[in-house]
Amino acid sequence: MAANGYDASVDTPIEQAIATPRPLTRGQRVGIWVGFHGWLIGFVLATMPDTGSFLGPLLGGWALTVVLALGFEAVARHTHETAVHLGSVAIAMGLVLVYYSLAVEPALQGHPPALQRLEDLGSVTHLPAWVGAAVVAIGSIVLLRFAIRRPGHA
């Protein structure tokens, strides 16, 4: 026990990780940002030359993706635990899937040439929002499982 009466031995792994941030390499940061923006990059390339028709949903998706990438970058700086990374990525993926089904998909359905182009490429063009919600729930369970684990316990 520390002189201030704080017993660090009862900290959860998340509390321990938050106390010890680490810098990320340039390669790690590039990987996070390119990885998180991959869905936007693919969508823009696959819908060319009609990408301008989806400007509103794409800007919203970009804003969501920036927030998610910043959040994951913060998580990556504070923990080395694979479970936390996987849970965080699952939550981010689920949120993007929900956003796609609620904002991007309706715009895509209203533009048949782009929809046909994506279907010809073998892309999934319809995704119910519950699928994204289920992925968020799975990621949350992974994070909760990690958060309640005490040091020395599986």
Q: What does the pLDDT look like over 92-123, one tens digit per residue?
A: 999 999 999 999 999 988 888 888 888 888 88
Can you give the pTM of this predicted structure? 0.79
The DSSP string of 20-82 is S--PPPHHHHHHHHHHHHHHHHHHHHHHTTSGGGGHHHHHHHHHHHHHHHHHHHHHHHH---H
- Interatomic CA distance for residues 99 and 57, integer angstroms: 9
pLDDT at residue 4 is higher than 70: no
pLDDT at residue 131 is higher than 90: yes
- Interatomic CA distance for residues 152 and 150, integer angstroms: 6
Ranges of each domain in the chain: 26-148
Residue 150 DSSP symbol: P
